[in-house]
Amino acid sequence: MTEALASRHGPIGAARKAPWAPDIFQAWWLTSFGVALAALYLVYFAILYRAGTWIVAQTGLPIYTDFGCGWAAGMQALHGDIAALYDPAGFAKAQAALFPADHDFYPNWPYPPTFFLVLAPLALLPYRWAFILWDALTLSACVAVVYLIVRRKTAIALALAAPFTAWNFLAAHYGFLTGALLGAALLTLERRPVLAGIFLGCLTYKPQFGVLFPVALVAGREWRAIAGAAATGLLLAGLSAVVFGGAAWAAFPHQLVAQTGLNLMAGADSNWGYLQSLYGLARSMRAPTGLAWFAQAAIAVGAAVVVWQVWRSAIPYRLKAAAFSAAALLATPYAFAYDMAALAIPAAFLAADQLERGLLPGDKAIWVALFGAPLAVLVTLGDNAHGTTFGGTPIALLTALALFAAILRRIAVLPADSALPRRRSAFGARPALPGA
């Protein structure tokens, strides 16, 4: 990021500021802000833990969370009866054996049997340490991918400070893993397409975020990545059938349909605000089901058209990856606020292109809004047990839409071959490009 941006023929625009005004987009400002905010998150989590309201209660018993479903499923897998998880009564019994009975247990287990290859080893640990280890490993993986995209240490601090990072860390859900796999696939696609396909095959544990990958890969003629993804998916499915038995695969489709009915076909009085999609927003505003589906279909088809056109064009790959990864989060009707931890991936690719080719006028204000608005909602609402929570507002959807719009604006405004010199970037100094 820079203080000014010039086009190939002259400056596009430069922000004038008073001599005394600090430039918060200098690397040390951003790093200090990111580290300080991440430290505040850590202090808050430590307070919750010591108070017995996060991970484990003061009684020493585990507190039922989103992570608790996965840990209970992994524990059941260790005991060799995975098919029971795909029966609501069996899943409730498995959870009741591990958590206090005063909870309303989640009724369905919607993940494919391949996911047990990850969850079963995790369930070998006590709940407390499994929770912490899962958070630490998946967060580290996601932040590492963000760093490899941006190649600036400041990106690490900002990724740790992102509001959706804090939300997913609180729930220990799967947003970091989704972001890491999505980013790793896009990061390696240009030079190692087979490896990218392997990451895509692993992402099949959350198939709703991969619906646009065939569009992008076919448009980009990435046949080796397609082959790698197909082979990896089949290998994982076969391995899970060998290790855990084939009965789970027979039961999985029925439970997936049940989960779809629970989250997408529920009544008008359901908590639709938690669903971070255009469909969920429309249902939360009491729109008819048909109209909500039409709105979601429109944004999904529009995103697919954009991805197809972008991936067939000659624009820099960073913007192709940014557009796709943002579109993937918008196309699905089934996403929650913790899933939006993966927004770090399109944000990182966009930042990488800005570092390489400079900022457009207004880009700094856009970044402040993209980060500041979710942070303000997180601080204001948090995890309010008696009211609307951060995850129950459409802030994640609106952030994803705004980020997607910012990416498309850059694609539309900047020529594909523009490469501009700059004095200093927001993530640290970068030498001028050759010939600039």
What tens digit of pLDDT does each residue of 113-127 get?
A: 999 999 999 999 999
Tell me, yes or no, whether 10 lies in a domain.
no
pLDDT in tens, 340-350: 999 999 999 99
Closest CA to 173 of 138, 125, 143, 197: 138
Q: How many domains does the chain have?
A: 1
Tell me, yes or no, whether 18 lies in a domain.
no
**Alpha helices in 277-362, H assignment, sequence order:** 278-284, 289-311, 317-331, 344-357
Tell me, yes or no, whether 434 lies in a domain.
no
The pLDDT score that the predictor gives to residue 426 is 45
Q: How confident is the model at residue 86 (pLDDT cuts 50, 70, 90)?
A: confident
Cα 393 to Cα 9, 165, 277: the distances in Å are 44, 16, 11
**Which residues sit opposite 6 in a β-bridge?**
11
pLDDT in tens, 217-252: 999 999 999 999 999 999 999 999 999 988 889 888
Tell me, yes or no, whether 276 lies in a domain.
yes
Tell me, yes or no, whether 304 lies in a domain.
yes
Tell me, yes or no, whether 320 lies in a domain.
yes
CB atoms within 10 A of CB 215: 20
Tell me, yes or no, whether 231 lies in a domain.
yes
Considering the chain, what is the average pLDDT of its residues?
Answer: 88
- pTM value is 0.89
Mean pLDDT for the stretch of residues 345-372: 96
Closest CA to 305 of 334, 321, 327: 327
The pLDDT score that the predictor gives to residue 419 is 54
The pLDDT score that the predictor gives to residue 60 is 87
Residue-number span of the structural domain to which 250 is assigned: 34-413
Closest CA to 306 of 407, 413, 170, 426: 407
Tell me, yes or no, whether 383 lies in a domain.
yes
